[in-house]
Amino acid sequence: MKRYVILISGRGSNMESLLDAGLPGNCAAVISNRPEAAGLAAAASRGVATRAIDHRGFATREAFDADLAAEIERHAPDLVLLAGFMRILTDDFVRRFEGRLLNIHPSLLPLFPGVRTHAQALAAGVRLHGCSVHFVTPALDGGPIIAQAAVPVQADDDAETLGRRVLAEEHRIYPRVARWFLDGRLRLVGGRVCLEGETAVSGSLHVPQIA
């Protein structure tokens, strides 16, 4: 059975959606860079091993990433899932896990990389916003996109209301992509996404019906 590790920094709602999805694999561990992260308790309540590695205890980003990578490798994962992990990872770390490192980002990439994406979307006046699952590369939020889901921006939206609708789509598409990978249908080949199966390809973009 394939193994995966989830990295979190906060409440871990995307982590919970992954753990509750019945993925074809075993979650070997949930690791956080913040010992106070609420998601650690949520993972432990599901019988998943947890570990906190406080980034604030390291003198450099490289030192933290080296310790984090060693802890991940201890679990011998086939897949590493960033689920609200709020750290910019070093190039060495990313290359170490190249092809088996995924992230969920709350925007329709390449629009609005970085943070405060919902506020960015509202300021830009876009009519559609959403989320993207992508392979992680050294370019921040710039890796090959695997799947996206879009939601309409309503006239009375603020960052909170828009964010809630996007988050619901994150919970829907991230487990789907993780399943594709663990089933052996998703690979990164020569810097491009290779996704086997007609159903998977046709389902890689989802736009909810607008009433």
Domains of the chain listed by start with CATH number: 1-97 (3.40.50.170), 106-131+147-211 (3.40.50.170)
- What average pLDDT score do residues 91-97 get? 97
pLDDT attached to residue 29: 98
Tell me the two tokens of residue 95.
């290359």
Catalytic-labelled residue, pool 55, 105, 118, 134: 105
Mean pLDDT, rounded, of the chain: 94
pLDDT attached to residue 138: 95
What is the band of 47 on the pLDDT scale with cuts at 50, 70, 90?
Answer: very high
66 contact partners, CB below 8 Å, separation of at least 6: 93
Beta-sheet pairing, 101-105 with 128-135: antiparallel
179: three-class secondary structure by DSSP = helix
pLDDT attached to residue 197: 77
- What average pLDDT score do residues 75-79 get? 98
The candidate with the shortest Cα–Cα distance to 130, out of 29, 25, 16, 206, is 206
**Annotation marks residue 134 as catalytic:** no
Long-range contacts of 195-198, Cβ-Cβ distance < 8 Å, separation of 24 or more: 195/146
**Which of 57-71, 160-174, 186-200 shows the lowest per-residue confidence on average (mean pLDDT)?**
186-200
- What average pLDDT score do residues 31-52 get? 98
Give the other-Cβ count within 10 Å of 27's Cβ.
22
pLDDT digits (tens, 9 = 90+) for 104-129: 999 999 999 999 999 999 999 999 99
Report d(CA 107, CA 102) in Å as an integer. Answer: 15
Do the Cβ atoms of 40 and 50 come closer than 8 Å?
yes
- What average pLDDT score do residues 163-176 get? 97
Do the Cβ atoms of 204 and 134 come closer than 8 Å?
no
pLDDT attached to residue 198: 41
